[in-house]
Structures are given as structure tokens and as C-alpha cells.
Structure 1
């Protein structure tokens, strides 16, 4: 029987996706651009080329691409443990922080369980939750574009397994203070895992957000970080979590085998050894962020102080559409969120100046 005949048989049932997958929204990545004059400011990537030590480590490891990577990522986990003052047994790695987040949700949530997070926040949160068959519980941001922790605590039920705190928040850049996070941890039942997602922590000013490692030592929460942003390894996909040994072991068990390549592991280790150079790059981004924020305020734009490598403009749909059209016409790619606003990555000064000139011409 031909495939065409098979499809026309009245008694033939074709494979179908399971319900949560069939209705799953697609993750919308930042738009890509190529060619002279395009400023790619949509994905919060580092605009710097890879750290020289990381590039050299990748070149050296490339000669052994015929071999599987270390699935346990022992060298990287031990190096992270030394760097952060924990044990290797408390470290789990994955393909970017989003990969580790999927390991967390897969490891803790059964069908029908709940995961609470602020909204708007990281676009992947509801997708990963629904993929696991759990229920996303979105709590609107407060008027300052930050987490409404009181509302999040009130949303906890017997089915709540995980709470996600994104600080600085993506896409708004607003951090959560240490005292607020600690009070929240005291208010939430200890059986609920609270994940402190710090993808942009290196860009945050000292003291603006929580000391997550200090909180981890007092509460059974998880500190989640990535090498994709400040370390400039977005193309290699490597992130990590610090968790209690039992949770970390569970995350390693739920990880896709060999998901973190040997090149990524070597580059991450080399990046940790180049901490001073990375810190200098971060300082330059902070300086540009402050310069842009001050000039935009002078133009009349009302922005919340950002602690990420990006700025957030809250905009209704008319303004959002007008800004996106203007940015597109100028060859500047930004990230637009329908009904909410526009996020703009802070990059080199020339690109940032283009953004400032465009926004000056489009000031509300």
C-alpha cells in the first residue's frame, strides 16, 4: 500500500502530539541580522568577541571532536565549585541556563503541578513548564517593573513545586533586593524549590540584588547562572546550577546525555580563569548602560533602572509598533514584546549612539 493510499484509509489513525506539546507556543528568539550597518541588539548577547583564552581552549579541544565529552563535566564542576566556594556535588551543568532550568522542572514537577513566576519575565518559563505537563502560574509585575513577591507568595498552593525569581529580571532589568528575597524565602513553604535565576548577575551593581550563595547556604533554594551573557559563550550553550547535593544529583540525572559539549566545557573553564578580563568588559557595559539611561531620561523617556546588559522601554501597542518600525528602518534589531514594550541590548558605543539618536527623534 502506498503512503497516499494509507492516508485515505478511513480506519487509519495517524500519530498525534500529546496535548501540552500540540498547544505549546514557540520560543521567539531575538532576530538575527547580517550585513554592514546592522546592529544586532535583540538577543542580549555580548558584543565582544570571545575571550582569547576561551577561543584558544576551543581551538585546542576541536582536535578531539571525534570523542564524546565528559558527561559528568567533572573538570568544569570542580572549577565552578572552587570559584563559588561550594563542593562539586552541589554543581549541575546543562546546555545554557535554560537547559538546566528544564532539568529542574523535569526533575521536580509531575503533571498538574504548578510553577510560579513573574510575568513578564524570561520567555522560556511558560514553555518549559507546559512541556513538562505542569501548570504555569503567571504573576503580573508590580508598577516598578519588578517582582510582586507578596502576590507570588499568596499564589502558592499545595500543587506548587517550583518558584522562579529572575533577578535582574529579563526583559525589564529590575533586580530583587537581598532582604526581599530572604523575607520571601521565609514566607514560602520549605518544600517549594525557589530558583534564583541570575543569567545577568555579572552586570548588576554590587548590592543591587541578592547574595544568592549566602541565601543558598541558609535555605534549600537553587542558584542558576550561565556563561552565555557576560562570558560571551552564547553559541556554545553552557550553564550551571548550585543546589543541595540531592537536588544537584537529580538535575544531573535528568540532563540529556552529553548535552554540554567538550568545547563548551573547556571554554567555560578558561573563561573562569580569565575573570579579570571579563570583569573589565562588564564594567564597560555598565558604563554605557548608565550613559544611555541618563541621556534617555533627559530625552523624556521614563525607564526603570536596569541591572542587566539591556534597557527596557514600557510601551503600549501603538508606541511599540512605531518604535520597531523606526528601528527596522535604521538597521537596528531590537526585541519587541507585543503589548508590553521594547528591550534594547547595550553594546558598543557606536551602536548605542545610533539607538540614542533614534529614540531622541521618536521621544513621546
Structure 2
């Protein structure tokens, strides 16, 4: 047997993989007393009418699911008013986004997105061989759509717009978005990522589906992980022109959406009243939390998601996270940017407010 020094070298990962930052997931609760508010999961379990249908699938999980997710795609199509040919599904909206980037990007192409925005964007772009292009947010936490339009080049293949944005919670401005789309060339696909759209107040909101119908280079990305409470099942979808949607289905992992996820997602779309009651409760708590935090001296943007955002420097960020952790509350910190706190039930939210009640103890924001 050859010595270790004479063994042939082992295969190496691509250089771009060596340089990838690790995706940082929110920490999970370790005890029953811990409030896990670091990940944007739903505080609620799956919708009651969905749970019983999920149970029927447990006796069938030895069988492969429908690889085409035909029934789920038909349900989504009926829900949003498109044809099933315009629907592609995948393991969460992140999985669908990976399908999008795989379908339209060659090495050297560019993917533009606001920053800070969803942490997976630069990772997925780099894995696809594309160049991530970060465009800083405006001081009011809005996407800088003028700067994003100016950043588009002949090599740009995808522009990602997250609305409401993660982690800031700020939605796209309808008028600015319309103007932006009029300036983006047709070779660039504009993906409007609406992972939190169900929590958004309707007044003045960007109607991404209406924009999709008018702009051939717009694609809408959504998920069942947030408002529908199916984060553990991993199912999301895209609405895209039929040729692109077919490309997304071709780049998907075979059987990537399991049969329980397909059943639960389709049933969730039918549970209109349960969903409206749930999101209304989240919106009410969001309004209360933002008002209380502002009253305590914090600068909080008008979030339209299921979380609130505290923009702050690293010293204040660490002080906030430490104080929350001392109270058995987990929140999500972002280096150089701030802290995101997911909304929960009223009692848990009151625990957060109790910790943050005195703004002055945390130093300069």
C-alpha cells in the first residue's frame, strides 16, 4: 500500500465553492421555554384542514410522488389565474430559484439583487456560475431601483426583487417598480420574490401577478413555507411564461417535491378562511409591535412581513442578541446591518418588548 505522501490527490471542489459563504440558518429552540424567533417560520402549525390530509399520506410515503406535481400545479394555476403550463414547483422558493438560475445563467452572467436582502441570493448565483451583483438599499430600506437599473449590463440575466424584503420587511413601491420594469431590457429576467406576500396589507401593494401579465420578462416566486406553515415540507413555486416554466421543470431535481408536500400545499390553497384569520392576527401583532418599539425609541421600518427589523451597528446588534438570549429568546443578527425578530404570539412578543423597552441601554443605533 502506498504511503500517504505518495497517494494521488483527491478530487477538489470548484474554486467558487471554496469561496462560498455558508448559509446561516436561524437557531432553533433548545428548550420549551425558548422563543425561536430567528427563522421566519410560521408561529402557527399547518392549517387545521390541511393536517388531516397530511396524515393520509403517511401510509404512502414508500411510493414516489408525481414528478410533474400535476395536481399541485393545477391548484396553483387556479389560485393565481394562470395556466398550469406557467407553473413550476420545487423544494421551497429557494429550490425554485436555483432552478431559475440553472435555466437561464451561463458562467459569467450576472445576477443583480438588493443588499441586504435574502442571504441565499449570492450563494445560489455563485453556484450557478454567475456573478452576484449587490446594490445597496436606500436609507429608507427601499430597493434602490434606479441604481439597480443602472447596474444592468449585456451580461445580466436575472434581477431579483424581494418584496416584502427579507430581512427588512419593506415592500416594493408600485410606482417605482413600474418605472424600473420599463427600463430593464428584455434579456434580463426580473424575479419578484414574494415569500411573505400573504402578510402584506393590500393597500398600495405591488401587484406582481398583474406586472407578470404585462411584462414578458417578469417571473413571480412564492412559497408555502411562511404563511401556510409548511416550512418543514419544502415546497415553493414560480409563475413564468410557459417556455421558461418548462425549463424550470427540466432543471428540477427529480421527485424534489414529496407527496406529502404536494398534498398539503394544494389543500392549503383551498383553506381561504383559515389563512385570512391567521394572517390578520400576524398583521395586528406587527402593527402593535412596531408602535411599541418606536415608542421605546427604536427606528423600525413599516414591515409588511412576519418580522420586524432593527437597523443597527455591530456593537448594538450583539447587545440586543445577548439581552434577548438572556431572556430565552432567539433572534437573527446580520453583521454590519442589524437584527430581525420574527413575530409570534402576543405573550412571546411581549417578552421581546420587555427586553427592548429601554432603548438607551443598548447604546447608539
What's the TM-score, normalizing by structure 1? Answer: 0.97
- Which residue of 254, 258, 263 corresponds with 1:257? 254
CA contact (8 A) 2:298 2:359 kept: no
SS of aligned partner of 1:360: coil
Query: For 2:159, what is the secondary structure of its paired residue?
Result: strand
Question: Are 2:193 and 1:187 aligned?
Answer: no
**Residue number among 336, 342, 346 corresponding to 1:345 in the alignment:** 342
Counterpart CA distance in 2 for 1:306 and 1:103 is 29
Shift of 1:217: 0.5
* Residues 69-84 of structure 1 aligned to structure 2 (within 5 Å): 69-84=65-80
Cα deviation, residue 150, structure 1: 0.2
> Contact between 2:331 and 2:340, CA under 8 Å: does it hold in 1?
yes
Do 2:296 and 2:359's aligned partners in 1 also have CA atoms closer than 8 Å?
Answer: no
Name structure 1 gaps, 5 residues minimum.
none
Select 1:271's aligned residue among 264, 268, 271.
268
Give unmatched runs, 5+ long, in structure 2: none
CA offsets 1:282-302 (integer angstroms, 9 cap, x no match): 000000000010111111111
Alignment RMSD: 1.0
Q: TM-score, normalised by structure 2?
A: 0.97
CA distance in 2, matches of 1:126, 1:182: 25
Aligned with 2:206 (options 204, 210, 220): 210
| Aligned pairs for 1:297-316 within 5 A | 297-316=294-313
Q: Residue by residue, what CA displacement relative to the aligned partner does 1:153-180 show, whole Å, maximum 9, x if unpaired?
A: 0001110000000000000001112222
- Residue of structure 2 equivalent to 1:64: 60
Runs of 4+ in 1 over 3 A off after TM superposition: 361-364
Q: Which residue of 1 aligns with 2:140?
A: 144
Structure 2 distance, partners of 1:291, 1:6, is: 67
Once residues 350 and 361 of structure 1 are traced to their aligned partners in structure 2, the CA distance between those partners, rounded to angstroms, is: 19
- Counterpart Cα distance in 2 of 1:60 and 1:182: 45
Q: Is the contact between residue 114 and residue 134 of structure 1 (CA under 8 Å) also seen in structure 2?
A: yes
Query: Which stretch shows the higher mean deviation, 18-27 or 150-159?
Result: 18-27
Give the number of aligned pairs.
360
Alignment counterpart, residue 28 of structure 2, candidates 20, 32, 44:
32
Offset at 1:7? 3.0
1:82-231 maps to which residues of 2 (within 5 A)? Answer: 82-220=78-216, 221-231=218-228
Q: Please give the alpha-carbon distance, in whole angstroms, between the structure 2 residues aligned to 1:204 and 1:7.
A: 59
